[in-house]
A = this chain, B = another copy of it.
Amino acid sequence: MSQQPVLIAGQWRPAQAAGTFHAENPATGERLPDEFPISSWADCEAVLNAAAEAATILRATPPEQLAKFLTRYAERIEARSAELVEIAHQETGLPKSPRLADVELPRTTGQLRQAAAAALEGSWALPTIDGKLNIRSVLEPLGPVCVFGPNNFPYAYNGIAGGDFAAAIAAGNPVIAKAHPCHPATSRALAEEAISAVRETGLPPATVQMIYHIAPEDGLRLVADSRMGAVGFTGSRAAGLKLKAVADAAGKPIYLELSSLNPVVILPGALAERGAKIVDEFTGSCLMASGQFCTNPGLVILTAGEATEKFIASVAEKFAAAPVAPLLSAGVASGLKNNLQKLQGAGAQLVTGGQPAASPGYRFANTLLRVSGDAFLAAPEALQTEAFGNASLIVVVRDAAQLVAVLEQFEGNLTGGIYSDTIGRDDALYALLAPSLRRRVGRFLNDKMPTGVAVSPAMNHGGPFPATGHPGFTAVGIPASLRRFAMLACYDNVRPERLPTSLRNKNPNGKMWRLIDGNWTRGDLASQAMF
């Protein structure tokens, strides 16, 4: 079978390949038939040149056209949803329903539509007008954005269709998608719809481009290239930090979403009040999709005692009884095994699981580990190793003081939460812990497991380093996610007819929120305020 082409400058063309790869069906371990290229630097060079040209045109493209593209793309994905679900199921082993068909695909098209609405309205760019001094500013596109998608969301975080893609396009930038090599055929099908929507809506052909795989050194060269505007990366900490180092040195904004343990603290009162319910919530959150979520609850803290032993025993029972779903790849399976060994080497004890599960495909027994607070404090770094997959570590602390000491050791995380009772017995302890956990996480939860990242304007899917590269930005949540891919553009004394429409006295669409002389308004700047 011939090699699959790459999408460069609006054309599906043969890659200038440095090698080839095949995806696998992780539920069976079988190699899938399509041969995909590992692009050489020559392909990167071509996408960069085409993207730079497209960026110039997109800066002058009306937001209505961007919105039309995003909407049309969503419609095309929906029209091809049955096939997309088949392909992604084959490449990821994720259930067709509800996961792929009923959750992730609608989430993806929903994100594209929300991004379209944000582009159309224009408020995301925080247009700000000082009428007295005639100084005006607004966020404007940065230029080509390279999006590296992760293995665990074939649609919703895909470089060619996911949240970073939607945000970068809505902000007016072309996207260079680096597909994840675990699901190249899904990415190809999405890219086919994307480029068709580009053609239908008259955007520059290189608005969306895609390559499947590149050598690590070409990835480093790509993100630091002078033609690059910014980078979005979701994936492993090791790869992300390497990209960050070179992007930072080149002065390119890079937005990372790396590993996270998402600590959950269950206070004694909550355990006493509704322990069985929390067992169910935790088990569901931890095992869903084999735990392959950025927001999987990978670390749970409980206080030593009988109720905690009962909690652990119940969870262990449910973990052992629950079916074992496939992992996304051989790499995820071996990573899980290695990281669980690392945790055990650092003092964690196996409660249940701990071994690869029976074939077919890549599976690992649902795994629960435990460690005492003393042992955690003796090796806090090693015991914060993320074991990506269907596994979690329970830290059993001696008392409140040790609980505080454990929290103080936490790295930055995407999320963190506290379960407390409803009758006030946990309140003092909550008040002691909450400030410490709060500042270490992007999203702070009460009485709720962290999986499930709503696409809400108030969402933060981000957090302090090393969960991400900058604690001020979110990867999920529109309009805030758009602001990552923009620069602050100030206009000082610029003549009225030369201003971007968003900064003219008249509100261009009557819907755009603008900060005019200190007040948010959808109105016009009264012309008497000018002089």
Residues of A within 8 A of B (CB): 56, 59-60, 128-130, 133, 135-137, 139-140, 142-143, 244-245, 248-253, 412, 415, 417, 430, 434-435, 438-439, 442-448, 454, 456-460, 462-466, 469-474, 477, 480, 483-484, 486-495, 498, 513, 515, 518-521
CB pairs A–B below 8 angstroms (11 shown): A59-B439, A60-B435, A244-B248, A248-B248, A250-B465, A444-B491, A447-B495, A457-B515, A457-B518, A464-B487, A474-B488
**Cross-chain contact B442 with A490 (CB below 8 angstroms):** yes
Q: Do A439 and B245 touch across chains, with their CB atoms under 8 A apart? A: no
Q: Identify which of B460, B471, B519 contacts A253 (C-beta below 8 A).
A: B471
The answer for the CA separation of A253 and B470 in the assembled complex, in Å, is: 6
Known A143-B439, A495-B446: A473·B458 in contact at CB below 8 Å: no
Complex contact B438–A460 (CB within 8 A): no
User: Quick check: B460 and A56 within 8 Å, CB to CB?
Assistant: no
Q: Which residue of B lies closest to A513 (CB)?
A: B520
Q: Give the nearest-CB partner of A128 in chain B.
A: B458
Contact A465 B135 (CB under 8 A): no
- CB pair A458–B490 under 8 Å, yes or no, is yes
A251 touches B457 (CB 8 A): no
Q: Is the CB of B253 within 8 A of A446?
A: no
**A486 proximity list for chain B (CB < 8 A):** 472
Chain B positions within 8 Å of A471 at CB level = 142, 253, 487-488
* Contact A445 B520, CB 8 Å, known A128-B458, A251-B466, A438-B489: no
Residue contact A473 to B494, C-beta cutoff 8 Å:
no
Q: How far is the CA of A439 from the CA of B489 in the complex (A)?
A: 8
A499 nearest CB neighbor, chain B only: B446
A442, B139: Cα distance in complex, Å: 10
Q: How far is the CB of A380 from chain B (nearest CB, A)?
A: 13
* Given known contacts A251-B465, A446-B494, A472 and B488 CB-to-CB distance under 8 angstroms: yes
B488 pairs with A446, CB closer than 8 A? no
**Contact in complex: B458, A59 (CB < 8 Å):** no
Other-chain contact of A459, B137, B470, B513 (Cβ < 8 Å): B137
Q: Give A121 Cβ to nearest chain B Cβ, in Å.
A: 9
Q: In this complex, what residue of B is CB-closest to A494?
A: B446
- Shortest beta-carbon distance, A469 to chain B, in Å? 7
A486 to B435, CA, bound (A): 15
Query: Are A130 and B458 neighbours in the complex by a CB distance under 8 Å?
Result: yes
Closest to A484 in B: B472
Interchain nearest-CB distance for A236 vs B (Å) = 16
Give A20 Cβ to nearest chain B Cβ, in Å. Answer: 35
Contacts of A249 in B (CB 8 A): 245, 248
Measured CB to CB, the nearest residue on chain B to A444 is B491
> Nearest Cβ distance between residue A433 and chain B, in whole angstroms?
12
* A483-B493 contact, Cβ under 8 Å, with A137-B458, A245-B248, A465-B252: no
Contact partners of A489 in chain B: CB under 8 A: 438-439, 442, 444, 460
Q: Cβ of B137 and Cβ of A494 under 8 Å apart?
A: no
Measured between beta carbons, the chain B residues less than 8 angstroms from A470 are 253
**A60 vs B432: C-alpha distance when bound (angstroms):** 12
Given the interface contacts A59-B439, A444-B489, A446-B498, does A472 sit within 8 Å of B253 by beta carbon? yes
Set B252, B415, B458, B465: member contacting A133, Cβ < 8 A: B458
Contacts of A142 in B (CB 8 A): 471
A130 — which chain B residues lie within 8 A by C-beta?
454, 456-459
Min C-beta distance of A295 to chain B, whole Å: 10
Once the chains bind, are B464 and A251 in contact (CB under 8 Å)? yes
